[in-house]
C-alpha cells in the first residue's frame, strides 16, 4: 500500500463507505478492503 492510498474507514466518491486493513496470517501480510452499498451489504 502506498502512502496515497486510504487506510482505515473512508468515504468513497460515490458516497458509500469502505475500510482497508492489513492482516498477518502465518507470517504473510494480507491487504483487506471491504465496501458497503446503500443497504449496508458488504461488497
Nearest to 36 by CA among 5, 21, 7, 14: 14
Q: Which residue matches cell numbers 452499498? A: 37
Q: Give the pLDDT of residue 31.
A: 84
Cα of 31 vs its chain's centroid, Å: 8
pLDDT at position 4 is: 59
User: What pLDDT, in 10s, does the model give residues 7-41?
Assistant: 788 888 888 888 888 888 888 888 888 888 778 77
CA distances from 24 to 1, 29, 30, 31, 40 (A): 14, 4, 6, 9, 27
Q: Is residue 42 part of a domain?
A: no
- What is the domain count for the chain? 1
- Predicted confidence (pLDDT) at residue 1 exceeds the cutoff of 70: no
What's the domain range around 15?
1-35
Asked if the structure places residue 5 within a domain, the reply is yes
| Domain contains 43 | no
Is the residue at 21 inside a domain? Answer: yes
Amino acid at each position: 500500500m502506498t502512502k496515497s492510498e486510504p487506510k482505515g474507514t473512508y468515504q468513497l466518491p460515490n458516497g458509500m463507505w469502505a475500510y482497508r486493513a492489513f492482516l498477518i496470517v502465518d507470517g504473510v501480510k494480507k491487504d483487506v478492503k471491504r465496501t458497503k452499498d446503500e443497504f449496508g451489504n458488504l461488497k
